[in-house]
Amino acid sequence: MLELKLKPLHDKILIKPAKGQDKSKGGILLPQTTEEKPERGEVLAVGEGKLLENGSYAKMSVKVGDQVIFKKYSPDEIKIDEEEYLIISEDDILAIIQ
């Protein structure tokens, strides 16, 4: 895995999206433009947590290496060295895959 020098702030999480399917269930090849946005991926980095009114941070529920499921349209997409990544708020993570 490429080491990124990117640290999410507060309750933000950096995710490497899971690769989309390039074939339908019936075996038909799908062009890149028809792929659905990924809804799962691997956590690469996490911020300190949500900043509370007293100045402390709430502990994050996810950690680096977790496989997660998240809301489809909530992440912000970024591209670094031709690789696509997602930045998402912790509130938009729906589940950790165990």
The helix/strand/coil state of 58 is: coil
Three-state secondary structure along 23-39? Answer: ECCCCCECCHHHCCCCC
Q: What is the pLDDT at residue 1?
A: 46
Residue 68 lies in a domain: yes
* Cα angle value 45/49/50 (rounded, 5°): 140
Range of the domain at 88: 12-97
Average pLDDT along the chain, 98 residues, taken 10 residues at a time = 76 89 60 62 94 92 95 88 92 93
The gap from C-alpha 36 to its chain's centroid, in whole angstroms, comes to 15
Tell me if 2 is assigned to some domain. no
pTM: 0.77
Exposure string of 5-26, with b = 16+ CB inside 10 Å and e = fewer, is: eeebeebbbbbbbeeeeeeeee
| Domain membership flag for residue 3 | no
